[in-house]
Structure 1
Amino acid sequence: MTSETLNLTVDELLTTTRSVRKRLDLEKPVPREVVMECLELALQAPTGSNTQGWQFVFVDDPEKKKALADVYRTNATPYLDQEKPTYGDSRDERTPLVVDSAKYLNDHLHEVPVMLIPCLEGRPDGAPAGMSASYWGSLLPAAWSFMLALRSRGLGSAWTTLHLLGDGEKQAAEILGIPFDEYAQGGLFPIAYTKGTDFKKAKRLPAEQLSHWNSW
């Protein structure tokens, strides 16, 4: 099966792939064939020394989705209720909207058609910065490529990590049978078709403010 794709240029795809929460269609089924098609594309991403130590755990069982959402909610609810930092720039005006959107996902996470937990062989616990960067660099490009592939087919997701806090990662591993001592989890991604596909560029700080040439 080859799913229909949106008519997006590369630049449009890169600048309009958003963290989608309130516009996830919780009612429309997501065929496994489409998910696997996106994964085949994601597996073309770089991975350190071509180890390909990744594993991708998809969940569409209602009871397991609810159990994972409960784990996520245990960490997310107190975090989202905390006072958020201020920056003194354009980010401050977006913060209430982001928090409101995140709270919506927190309330409805169990309703999404499919969840994904990307995993990588080994554990970076306590590793020095260089090794940790190398480790996650073998998984995160593929995860982002997966989100781009979803977007190009009219689906959306959001990169969440709050379930990993405390005992959450181990609890998720027990729910799904992930060998905790052998694989680390990189996040929890809701997957759904989006309500409309007309996403826009996000308001970001200007590149000139964030770039350095030859010295800091």
Structure 2
Amino acid sequence: MPPLDLTADEVLTTTRAVRRRLDLDRPVERTLIEECLRLAAQAPTGRNRQRWDFVLVTDPARRAALADLYRLGLTRPRQQVVRDGVDRGDPVRGRRIAESAQYLFDHLHEVPVLLVPCIRVRGRHENASHVGQANTWGSILPAVWQFMLAARSRGLGTAWTTPHLHYEREAAELLSIPYETVLQAALIPVAHTIGTDFRAGPRTEVDEIAHWDTW
């Protein structure tokens, strides 16, 4: 499948978190995933140590079990998630996001491919320093984002999710991931999208977020 006819700017501004518009009935070709991974592997990483791994879950039973851990993470989280208390959205948009999230909650097990990006470490990071955490996550996030951009350019939809990390050990056992030396970063549903006409999302004006020389 050839890439969509999109400019770089269009890919950057229209790569959305896709939930309700994931095509649950259309298989995703392995070659497409491999193309996206080759582009993801070109991402920069700390000290040029490419410590990432990508677990691609296509087996229906494992997808279902992983989706159950995702749901558990939302309904019975093991860690308190601290909210920043800032809400820049409007109620209508908030309701749409909630409906979209509920759709993914109900249908995640039906998504053709579930991607678990991982990064190899010397030990668990729960008590790592701020600098250590920044280096570790900064070494996997660019690669995942490049995968998501590559997916968008090929008519695939993705969304960054983390609730299953409340049950990371169970997910590690399910997927045979070495728990003590490999951190899971997210759970990314991957599917063809229903239509490809995504638009740029509403965002804060640059003047409100740019701080030149001082805060």
Q: Distance in 1 between matches of 2:60 and 2:35?
A: 23
1:196 alignment partner in structure 2: 195
1:124-175 superposed Cα distances (whole Å, 9 cap, x missing partner): 221111111011111000000000000000001100001112xx11110000
Q: Distance in 2 between matches of 1:42 and 1:12?
A: 18
AA aligned opposite 1:104: Y
1:169 maps onto 2:168 in alignment: yes
AA aligned opposite 2:189: P
TM-score, normalised to structure 2's length?
0.92
1:137 maps onto 2:158 in alignment: no
Deviation, 1:87, is: 4.5
Give the 3 Å change call, closer, same or farther, for CA 88–164 of structure 1 in structure 2.
closer
Q: Distance in 2 between matches of 1:58 and 1:89?
A: 34
AA aligned opposite 2:39: L
Deviation, 1:96, is: 1.3
1:147 alignment partner in structure 2: 148
Once the two structures are overlaid, the 10-residue window that deviates more, 110-119 or 124-133, is: 124-133
Q: Distance in 2 between matches of 1:139 and 1:88?
A: 27
1:60 alignment partner in structure 2: 58
Which runs of at least 4 in structure 1 moved beyond 2 Å after TM superposition? 84-93
Q: Distance in 1 between matches of 2:69 and 2:120?
A: 22
Contact 1:86 1:92 in 2 (8 A): no
Number of aligned residue pairs: 209
Deviation, 1:26, is: 0.2
Q: Secondary structure at the match of 2:174?
A: helix
Q: Distance in 2 between matches of 1:93 and 1:156?
A: 23
Q: Distance in 2 between matches of 1:190 and 1:17?
A: 14
2:48 alignment partner in structure 1: 50
% identity of equivalent residues: 51
1:215 alignment partner in structure 2: 214
Deviation, 1:93, is: 3.7
Contact 1:161 1:188 in 2 (8 A): yes
Give the 3 Å change call, closer, same or farther, for CA 87–127 of structure 1 in structure 2.
closer
RMSD: 1.8
AA aligned opposite 1:209: E
1:29 alignment partner in structure 2: 27
Once the two structures are overlaid, the 10-residue window that deviates more, 136-145 or 84-93, is: 84-93
Deviation, 1:21, is: 0.1
Give the 3 Å change call, closer, same or farther, for CA 119–85 of structure 1 in structure 2.
closer
Give the 3 Å change call, closer, same or farther, for CA 75–88 of structure 1 in structure 2.
closer
Deviation, 1:195, is: 0.2
AA aligned opposite 1:96: R
Q: Secondary structure at the match of 1:117?
A: strand
AA aligned opposite 2:29: P
Contact 1:30 1:192 in 2 (8 A): yes
